[in-house]
A = this chain, B = another copy of it.
Amino acid sequence: MSQHRSLIDDHINAWVKALPKGGLYAPMAYLMGLPAKRVRPALVLMGCELFGGRAEAALDEALGIELFHNFTLMHDDIMDAAPLRRGQPTVHEKWDVNTAILSGDAMLVMAYQLMARRPEVSALFGRYALEVCEGQQLDMEFEQRDDVDAEAYRGMIRLKTAVLLACSLRVGAAIAGASAADSERIGAFGEHIGLAFQLRDDLLDVFGDPARTGKQQGGDLRAGKKTILLIRGLELSALNGRSELREELAKPADQRDVTRMLNALRALGIREEAERAVQEEEVKATNALDAVAVAEDRKMPLRELTAGLMTRSY
């Protein structure tokens, strides 16, 4: 991973350095220059190596995926009116909304340019890029709706988060010339890993130890954010005649008793249910990886990645 990391960082830094100054390009350079984990470009390289390709052969597409991801962040931050991204001012705060719209548009075009070397790669990319837009649209719609169930929530996070991990792996696989069946398998691995990651994130926000997660415990609950835990909590409360969650959500966010909400979720068995859901996705991811028709030693880096995600601690 650390070898991939330096390949990716060098490639991103060289790209940023070569950008024209000012105008549309300064916000791209700023956002791409903020410290980030670079999970998606790493998955492109890992997808390529899994099928016998060289990581170096996939660097442009890895950069393209990271550019696309940052384009979605730039536009999502406008839509969410978010002041901070990675601890720094968002582009629409540091510049203005119009600049963030237009610079984001140009980033999407530049991402496409990097995906254009192979028609099968740009076809994969286009399909998944549209799904990511659909996921963001559902996320915005769900904020206005009260009838979102757990199934719909999973569908939304699948589109908004998980499919781009699948896309990253499949782009790498395509560069290495993987078979159609293996491409599907590694895509399924990526989606299930992505779902497990997001569901665990929701779980850590509610039940994680703030000293370990670095976040305020129950921040999502206080904000009334309809994660799968709150959705299932409300469903089970209705079935069991409990009203704590509904009562707390009726209050303004700054008057909510988060401890009371946490206790209600615990009493309803939501923690165990969510943990099972994460495990289920991890098992599906492992099964998909098992089925990929390459030698076991090639799969080690992805198995380590999965194990790392599985043990992300409370």
Partner of A24, one of B79, B110, B133: B133
A198 at the interface (CB under 8 A from B): no
Report B-chain residues with C-beta under 8 Å of the C-beta of A108.
105, 108-109
Distance between Cα atoms of A78 and B123 in the complex (Å): 29
A237 at the interface (CB under 8 A from B): no
Distance between Cα atoms of A104 and B133 in the complex (Å): 10
Are the CB atoms of A23 and B98 closer together than 8 Å? no
A70 at the interface (CB under 8 A from B): no
Given known contacts A116-B122, A116-B123, A122-B112, A106 and B133 CB-to-CB distance under 8 angstroms: yes
Are the CB atoms of A106 and B130 closer together than 8 Å? yes
A147 at the interface (CB under 8 A from B): no
A269 at the interface (CB under 8 A from B): no
**A residues 160-214 with Cβ under 8 Å of B?**
none
Number of interface residues of A (CB under 8 A): 32
Instruction: Determine chain A's interface SS by DSSP, over half rule.
Output: helix
A140 at the interface (CB under 8 A from B): yes
Are the CB atoms of B140 and A102 closer together than 8 Å? yes
A101 at the interface (CB under 8 A from B): yes
Given known contacts A108-B108, A130-B110, A133-B109, A101 and B101 CB-to-CB distance under 8 angstroms: yes
A113 at the interface (CB under 8 A from B): yes
Partner of A102, one of B75, B106, B119: B75
For A100, give the chain B residue with the smallest CB separation.
B101
Are the CB atoms of B101 and A79 closer together than 8 Å? yes
Report B-chain residues with C-beta under 8 Å of the C-beta of A130.
106, 109-110, 113
Are the CB atoms of B122 and A101 closer together than 8 Å? no
A134 at the interface (CB under 8 A from B): yes
Report B-chain residues with C-beta under 8 Å of the C-beta of A306.
none
Are the CB atoms of A23 and B134 closer together than 8 Å? yes
For A133, give the chain B residue with the smallest CB separation.
B106
Q: 8 A-B Cβ contacts within 8 A?
A: A23-B137, A24-B133, A24-B137, A101-B101, A105-B108, A106-B137, A116-B122, A116-B126
By a beta-carbon cutoff of 8 Å, the part of chain A in contact with chain B is 23-24, 75, 78-79, 98-99, 101-102, 104-106, 108-110, 112-113, 116, 119, 122-123, 126-127, 129-130, 133-134, 136-138, 140-141
Task: List 9 tightest A-B contacts by C-beta distance, closest first.
Answer: A106-B133, A79-B98, A113-B126, A109-B129, A24-B137, A109-B130, A23-B137, A116-B122, A112-B112
